[in-house]
């Protein structure tokens, strides 16, 4: 017997905590990070609970592009992982991101790093973010707001960050 009071839309579920990685290396990078956070909040689908410092980071993947600003936010959301991805991509699009070169410069990038304790592997979305453990530009800000979170069995964000070469990541500042 199921009870349905019309509250469980297919793209909504019980509230979860998710971590999102933000990156920008085009235009006014600080304004872009700020605006992405504002849009995450104002869309009504997410609450931004905490925000890391902003780090200026050397580009990886394609190294011949401007330095990035990166940050990580903790959000709570009732969106499913795929609905959250749609929401993040809609914000990227609304801020003028054009998908030209893979791994190339972008106004704003919003990646889902973690979604509760869930793992998910679909064509569009893999959670936890598969490359996260290798990327200091993700783990340094993540470990600031979630130092003890377990990324792989027995390994916290702080420990994972300390294992990486962090030379390309330097503190830039705080938002607000």
Of these partners, Mg ion, ligand X6L, none, which one is at the site of residue 60 (CB under 5 to 8 Å by kind)? ligand X6L
Cα 47 from Cα 44, distance rounded (Å): 8
CA distances to 12, 78, 81, 107, 149 from 7, rounded to whole Å, are 8, 11, 18, 36, 31
**106 an active-site residue?**
yes
Cα 33 from Cα 108, distance rounded (Å): 7
**67 an active-site residue?**
no
CA distances to 27, 35, 55, 69 from 31, rounded to whole Å, are 9, 6, 14, 11
**Catalytic residue (one of 111, 117, 170, 174):** 111
Q: Which residues in this chain contact ligand X6L in the complex, by CB under 6 A? A: 23, 57-61, 68, 70, 103, 109, 137
**28 an active-site residue?**
no
CA distances to 13, 49, 75 from 16, rounded to whole Å, are 8, 12, 8
- With respect to ligand X6L, which residue has the nearer C-beta, 72 or 79? 72
* 55 SS3 class: strand
Of these partners, Mg ion, ligand X6L, none, which one is at the site of residue 126 (CB under 5 to 8 Å by kind)? none
The answer for residues whose C-beta is within 8 angstroms of residue 42's C-beta and 6 or more apart is none
Q: What residues are paired with 102 via a beta bridge?
A: none
Output the smallest distance, CB 70 to ligand X6L, in A: 5
- With respect to ligand X6L, which residue has the nearer C-beta, 23 or 81? 23
**What number of CA atoms fall less than 13 Å from residue 117's CA on the CB side?**
4
Output the smallest distance, CB 89 to Mg ion, in A: 8
- With respect to Mg ion, which residue has the nearer C-beta, 16 or 109? 109
- With respect to Mg ion, which residue has the nearer C-beta, 12 or 89? 89
Output the smallest distance, CB 59 to ligand X6L, in A: 4
**97 an active-site residue?**
yes
Output the smallest distance, CB 128 to Mg ion, in A: 14
Q: Which residues in this chain contact Mg ion in the complex, by CB under 5 A? A: 109, 111
- Which residues are known catalytic residues? 97, 106, 109, 111
């Amino acid at each position: 017997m199921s009870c349905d009071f019309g509250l469980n839309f297919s793209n909504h579920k019980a509230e979860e905590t998710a971590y999102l990685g933000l990156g920008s290396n085009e235009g006014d990078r600080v304004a872009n990070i700020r605006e992405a956070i504002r849009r995450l909040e104002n869309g009504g689908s997410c609450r931004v609970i905490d925000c890391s410092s902003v780090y200026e980071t050397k580009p990886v993947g394609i190294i011949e592009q401007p330095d990035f600003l990166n940050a990580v936010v903790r959000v709570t959301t009732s969106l499913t992982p795929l609905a959250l991805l749609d929401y993040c991509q809609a914000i990227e699009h609304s801020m003028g991101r054009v998908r030209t070169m893979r791994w190339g410069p972008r106004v704003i990038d919003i990646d889902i790093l973690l979604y509760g304790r869930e793992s998910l592997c679909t064509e569009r979305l893999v959670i936890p973010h598969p490359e996260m453990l290798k990327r200091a530009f993700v783990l340094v800000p993540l470990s600031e707001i979630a130092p003890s979170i377990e990324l792989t069995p027995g390994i916290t964000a702080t420990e994972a960050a300390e294992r990486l070469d962090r030379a390309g990541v330097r503190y830039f500042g705080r938002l607000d």
